Structure 1
Amino acid sequence: MFHKDNLKSYGISERFLQEATLYPDLVLGRICSQYKDLYKAVTPQGEVFAEVSGRFRYGASRLSDYPAVGDFVMLDRSMDEGGNAIIHQVLTRKSSFERKAVGMEQETQVVAANIDTVFLCMALNQDYNLRRLERYLSIAWDSRALPVVVLTKADLCPNLEEKMAEVSSVAIGVDVLVTSAMSGDGYGSIRSYVQPGKTVALIGSSGVGKSTLINRLAGEELLQTNDIRKDDKGRHTTTRRELLVLQDGGIVIDTPGMRELGLENADLARAFSDIDRLAEQCKFRDCSHRSEPGCAIQRAIQQGTITRERLDSYLKLKKEAGYEGLTSKQIETEKINRMFSGMGGMKNARKFIQEQSKKKR
């Protein structure tokens, strides 16, 4: 049996404790780091190295079925005695930041699981890229966690106000925070998101200052950092995903740099809410927003309300996610069908949701 108070600092909640009671002979833990096929998990008695069971491996049909950093799992032991612990079950995720797995067609990789907030980090030097930020936001909104844009290295930006205005124009409904490696400005507002028992994942390219940010929040050098190179690009320091508990109780997940994120699923309705609203005003319901008469989006471009680059980014991401030609409602249906593809699509999705609702009563 486990003691829930021992895992409280690692973000355990009643939701996971209730699900864990389905496995009375196993021990609850949370994945803190991953080394290829080996994991490190924290348990009520401390940390253990762990691997998935043969049965688990046989039953996993997708890469995303495997444990990821931030997952709550059920293990056969809470100590290292007798070798590595064995992971038998991954508890239902409340959120997950996912990307298309590199070099693996139609496979999704979970970057971080059970997160409350996603810090989308972008440096205000050569790393600055609005189109990449739109991609990050599309995935972050789909993760079911709260996205927050964190602009780093403000001391290297000669036109900060202009860049802030550009970022705000694409990060609709999202807080935008600014930090500088040369001062403590901005860290107070960032710290407000790092609360006891809450998990924050930091996502961004190599060298944008994620490790520096974590060290500043922790008040100590938890992670190795390097100065930026002479070509204004950051040096890569983090080599694996790692979950850390800060002294004040906040939980952070540091991730290796990702300049490119392959899109598997995305919430374009929220990431591009301005375009989504305009699309409802188009003359034709199946408007492609390219050359049709009465296109509200093309009219907005002519009026300078949105940029053509933003529309091109929206259409590109829509095509990449397999949503081309679909309306917002049709996209949501398609996402549910994909999620339950092995269970009969939308029909069984409704049945599953109804069953889950009954369990919560």
Structure 2
Amino acid sequence: MKQIDMSQYGLNDRFMSEAAAFKNLFIGRIVSQEKGVYHVVCDNGKMIAEISGKLRYEAKSPSDFPAVGDFVMLDRDNSTWGNAIIQNILHRKSVFVRKAVGNSKEEQVVATNIDKVFICMSLNNDFNLRRLERYLSLAWDSNALPVVVLTKADLCDNLQRRLFAVDSVALGADVLVTTSMEEDGYKEVSQYIQPGHTVAVIGSSGVGKSTLINHLIGEEKLATKEICKDDRGRHMTTRRELFLLSGGGVIIDTPGMREVGMWDMSEGFENSFSDVESFFGNCKFHNCTHTSEPGCGIYEAIAQGQLSPKRWRSYQKLKTEAAFADNKDDYLSEKKKRFKNIAKINKVNRKH
């Protein structure tokens, strides 16, 4: 049996050192998951695995279960005697988490042990700066490096204006432009994937994630679907899956996200909204709540045209949503207070 070079799948000294503490177990990486069934790759190939009863019993939340990208300890390294059993999950170096879809108060792990997050957004129908702000906040908080990948440039008739808009919110993140008609854009994207590194691709349905991944893999691994003249394809992924690239890196494909629910975070906002938070130091009072106090740095910045009211309202909304991610009633109460302050912002704008 041909041995697999696990270093191509991101296995490094850090994970090997931790794995050494588990005697008589074998290290593998989760490459896909569907309905409680895990597909893992290890030295001797790929096999199906399930979690142990102990791991299931000790799990306190969905994030305690294995996810695509996790390095796990298995009771076997081949499928000769049946499915493998996942006994342990090694500590994650990074994890992309969002609030679960709907009214659930739980978090949902999208991908783990990632080095970069490709945030895909099309330059035509899907273009939405407020959604991009959500993705960027979650990506920065994941401990991975976000890269904005703008797709379908050939369907955009105001490219420069939209690039300027993206640059105004994608602080600290590289922005790449691709088109389904040319190869050069995809070549630039591939340079961001290094051997042994892992990239997660996220975005809404239909933005061209499947097309992008097919180009990076070099073959039609993922299906795309014709839908209309203005949109060249709709993402058909139904599960998260990890693919090995010819250059040695790996890429994680994720289903299109209809909702981008915020989860409790700190570093994510410090990076994605550093422009907003930079005005906090200009407030007259150190405990300013940025609502009705005189000398508020935020409202002075808005009045002087240094800060967009939409940008400030987006910051407030996402901050509130993240702070009350586990309590819907408190979130709705805080949301009502925030809307009352919109009148003050509008009043400031009318005066100037």
TM-score tier (shorter):
0.7 to 0.9
Q: Is the 8 A contact 1:26 1:74 kept in 2?
A: yes
Q: What letter matches 1:159 in structure 2?
A: N
**Distance in 1 (alpha carbons) for counterparts of 2:319 and 2:233:** 31
Q: How far did 1:145 drift? A: 0.2
1:134 is matched with: 133
Q: What letter matches 2:105 in structure 1?
A: Q
- In the TM superposition, what are the counterparts of 1:287-302 in structure 2 within 5 Å? 287-302=288-303
1:355 is matched with: none
CA distance 1:205–1:308, shift in 2 (3 Å): same
Deviation readout 1:116-147 (Å, 9 max, x if unpaired): 00001000111110000001111000000000
2:321 is matched with: 320
Q: How far did 1:260 drift? A: 1.5
2:55 is matched with: 56
2:305 is matched with: 304
Q: How far did 1:51 drift? A: 0.5
Deviates more, 1:253-262 or 1:110-119: 253-262
Q: How far did 1:269 drift? A: 1.0
**Distance in 2 (alpha carbons) for counterparts of 1:322 and 1:265:** 6
**Distance in 2 (alpha carbons) for counterparts of 1:4 and 1:100:** 38
Q: How far did 1:234 drift? A: 4.6
**Unaligned 5+ runs, structure 2:** 326-352
| SS at structure 1 position matched to 2:5 | helix
2:286 is matched with: 285
Deviates more, 1:94-103 or 1:289-298: 289-298
Q: Is 1:222 paired with 2:200?
A: no
**Distance in 2 (alpha carbons) for counterparts of 1:35 and 1:196:** 27
Deviation readout 1:47-80 (Å, 9 max, x if unpaired): 0100101111001111000000000000111111
**Distance in 1 (alpha carbons) for counterparts of 2:103 and 2:242:** 25
2:156 is matched with: 157
Q: How far did 1:104 drift? A: 5.9
- Note the aligned Cα RMSD (angstroms): 1.8
Q: How far did 1:285 drift? A: 2.3
**Distance in 1 (alpha carbons) for counterparts of 2:75 and 2:102:** 33
Q: What letter matches 2:169 in structure 1?
A: V
**Distance in 1 (alpha carbons) for counterparts of 2:4 and 2:247:** 16
Deviates more, 1:228-237 or 1:132-141: 228-237
**Distance in 1 (alpha carbons) for counterparts of 2:206 and 2:194:** 25
1:185 is matched with: 184
| SS at structure 1 position matched to 2:279 | helix
Q: What letter matches 1:314 in structure 2?
A: Y
**Distance in 2 (alpha carbons) for counterparts of 1:95 and 1:26:** 23
Number of positions where the alignment pairs a residue of Structure 1 with one of Structure 2: 322
- In the TM superposition, what are the counterparts of 1:232-271 in structure 2 within 5 Å? 232=231, 234-266=233-265, 267-271=268-272
Q: How far did 1:273 drift? A: 0.2
| SS at structure 1 position matched to 2:306 | coil
**Distance in 2 (alpha carbons) for counterparts of 1:312 and 1:185:** 37
Q: Is the 8 A contact 2:98 2:108 kept in 1?
A: yes
CA distance 1:288–1:126, shift in 2 (3 Å): farther
1:107 is matched with: 106
Deviates more, 1:279-288 or 1:269-278: 279-288
CA distance 1:142–1:106, shift in 2 (3 Å): same
Q: How far did 1:225 drift? A: 1.6
Q: TM-score when scaled to structure 2?
A: 0.88
Q: Is the 8 A contact 1:142 1:265 kept in 2?
A: no
1:348 is matched with: none
CA distance 1:293–1:185, shift in 2 (3 Å): farther
2:124 is matched with: 125
Q: Is the 8 A contact 1:139 1:265 kept in 2?
A: no
Q: What letter matches 2:175 in structure 1?
A: V
Q: TM-score when scaled to structure 1?
A: 0.86
Q: How far did 1:251 drift? A: 0.7
Q: How far did 1:11 drift? A: 0.5
| SS at structure 2 position matched to 1:321 | helix
1:335 is matched with: none
Q: Is the 8 A contact 2:208 2:234 kept in 1?
A: no
**Distance in 1 (alpha carbons) for counterparts of 2:156 and 2:302:** 28
Q: Is the 8 A contact 1:126 1:233 kept in 2?
A: no
Q: Is the 8 A contact 1:95 1:115 kept in 2?
A: yes
Q: Is 1:196 paired with 2:171?
A: no
- In the TM superposition, what are the counterparts of 1:68-107 in structure 2 within 5 Å? 68-103=67-102, 105-107=104-106
Q: How far did 1:101 drift? A: 1.6
**Distance in 2 (alpha carbons) for counterparts of 1:196 and 1:265:** 32
CA distance 1:66–1:288, shift in 2 (3 Å): same
Q: How far did 1:246 drift? A: 0.9
**Unaligned 5+ runs, structure 1:** 325-361
Equivalent pairs: percent with the same residue? 58
| SS at structure 2 position matched to 1:151 | strand
CA distance 1:94–1:50, shift in 2 (3 Å): same
Q: How far did 1:230 drift? A: 4.4
Q: What letter matches 2:136 in structure 1?
A: L
Deviates more, 1:96-105 or 1:156-165: 96-105
Q: Is the 8 A contact 2:97 2:107 kept in 1?
A: yes
**Distance in 1 (alpha carbons) for counterparts of 2:203 and 2:231:** 16
